Chain A
Amino acid sequence: MTKIVPTFGLLTAVTLCAAGTARAHHSFAAEFDITKPVTLAGKVTKIEWTNPHSYLFIDVPDPKTGAVTNWEIEMGSPNGLTRLGWTRNLVKAGDAVTVEGSLGRNKPNLANARSVVMTDTGKKLGAASSEGAR
């Protein structure tokens, strides 16, 4: 059974410079709170491979009660993910994933994904050539 890993911690000494807060499609800071990092582990229930953003939906059980909450995880566009080597069939319903990201500001059970890892294998998705020696 998957479980929830450390929850919401507060980051200190994080500042966002005004010139860096808008992104290609829209304002990030208006949607997500960088001071509220979140790590979620659960099973994929659905993927929306759509513009301007793709979404993973995952069932995350509460470690104490076992109650399951369905989380909505925002990622980049299919175009951006494709350029990272992700494909629309890479993750399927039932796959166990661990997501790191930031908590949504205005909607419950919403976060974005900074990284998505297949829980069983430890394989980091969409990171093949995006980082490191490039």
Chain B
Amino acid sequence: MKWIYVAALLLLAASSGFSQNGGGVIRGAVRLPDGPVARATIQAKHGSSGKAFTTMSDTSGQFALRDLPEGTYEVSVPEIGLTTNRFVQRNVSVQPGKITALDIVLRKGNLGVLGDDNAYLTVRGKSANVRAAPAPRMGDGHPDLSGVWNGNVDPNPQEASLLPWANEVLNQRRATAFRDQPSGFCLPGDPTPTIPLLYRFVHTKGLLVQLFEQEPHYRQIFLDGRAHPNDADPTWMGHSVGRWERDTLVIDTTGFDDKSWLIFATGLPHTERLHMVERYRRPDLGHLVVDLTLEDPGAFVKPVERHMTWELAPGEEILESICTENNKFPENAGLK
């Protein structure tokens, strides 16, 4: 069962003259039990100052964080899609002029099911081939958000602050292993753009369409200047309108029902007062920066935020996925 085994090997190796300014170095490799992991983000947070240093692993999984002030660090690697769990190693010691060797073995997310958890890495690997180029533009000069994007999780998610009733519901959901999550019954999973799956944007002048491989499979964002309807029937995905703030598309959504579970695996409850604001920015051809704010005075003490960077997924398409075709979840979870 080596795949589940999590190990961090810490070696302090003496070295002199390695760093230019007398700082220390954390060096090592990121891997899964079956191979190196490229383009993993490694973050080292300095214990006393709280300052964070980040780098990425190369194609062979190697990384080095250089010129680090002396002290102890918390080294972390965020989740990679559905494939790996978050890695955290505390009390990593860094000394001036010395190299701290840290080999990071990631643990597969969830149960590592073939074709589910691990397909993400394959798609992600293709994004590395996207050429560096400016973002394409629409006829009106605004960035064109079209493309198939690989969704992502927030690498530094903040704990949501919930009202007592909502906290109680969330605890109940955790205690029952999320078994009542709507998506298990082929209902819409989550109206927020926080799922590490593929999203296609089809961007036209007056309408932005989002397609994805989960119920309800599509979302319409009106860009024609219309307002939210008055007293609309509450729906799973709500009513979305978008407007530009310079090069950022700001999407405002209201009119939600209270049935969905928010932010993917977090599973937050909410009320019909939920108000979602998404800000999308395409700084270059291959990246989409997604900033999400959720307000719900009926469920949250303060707004919940998430910040993601999506990557263009060349060669990928949105494929058919009819959940009711052969959904055995209720039976296999003992709910039927």
A residues with a Cβ closer than 8 A to B are: 9, 11, 14, 17-32, 34, 37, 48, 50-55, 74-84, 86, 101-102, 104-107, 110, 112-116, 125-127, 129-134
B116 near A9 with CB under 8 A, answer no
- CB pair A77–B321 under 8 Å, yes or no, is yes
Q: In the bound complex, do residue A11 and residue B1 qualify as a contact, i.e. CB atoms below 8 Å apart? A: yes
- CB proximity of A97 to chain B, nearest CB, Å: 12
**In the complex, A127→B322 CA distance in Å?**
25
Interchain CB contact under 8 A, B1 and A27: no
**Contact call B323/A32, Cβ cutoff below 8 A:** no
Contacts of A31 in B (CB 8 A): 329, 332-333
Tell me the nearest residue of chain A to B175, going by C-beta: A18
- B62-97 CB mask vs A (1 if < 8 Å, else 0) is 000000000000000001001001100000000000
B-side contacts of A106, CB under 8 Å: 331-334
In the assembled complex, the CB of A116 is this many whole angstroms from the nearest CB of chain B, namely: 6
The total of chain B residues at the interface (CB under 8 A) is 71
In contact, A27 and B179 (Cβ under 8 angstroms): yes
Q: A76-B119, A114-B111 are in contact. List 5 more A-B contacts (CB 8 A).
A: A77-B115, A102-B111, A130-B121, A131-B121, A134-B121
CB-based closest 10 A-B pairs = A76-B115, A132-B35, A26-B184, A106-B334, A76-B116, A30-B179, A81-B115, A50-B326, A134-B125, A29-B177
Q: Are A84 and B332 in contact (CB under 8 A)?
A: no
Residues from 306 to 334 in B contacting A, C-beta threshold 8 Å: 316, 319-323, 325-329, 331-334
- Assess the B113–A113 pair: CB atoms within 8 A: yes
In the assembled complex, the CB of A48 is this many whole angstroms from the nearest CB of chain B, namely 6
- The answer to whether B36 has its CB under 8 Å from any CB of chain A is yes
Cross-chain contact B116 with A23 (CB below 8 angstroms): yes
Contacts of B189 in A (CB 8 A): 24-25
Chain B residues near A (Cβ < 8 Å):
1, 3-4, 32, 34-39, 59-61, 79, 82, 85-86, 108-119, 121-125, 157, 174, 176-179, 181, 183-186, 189, 195-197, 213-214, 264-267, 316, 319-323, 325-329, 331-335
Closest beta carbon of chain A to B30's beta carbon, Å: 11
Looking at the assembled complex, report how far the CB atom of B234 sits from the nearest CB atom of chain A, in whole angstroms. Answer: 23
* Most chain B Cβ neighbours within 10 Å, of A23, A34, A110: A23
Q: Please name all residues of chain A whose beta carbon is closer than 8 Å to the beta carbon of B185 when the two chains form the complex.
A: 26
Name B110's contact: one of A28, A52, A86, A110 (CB within 8 Å): A28
Judge whether B61 and A84 touch: CB under 8 Å: no
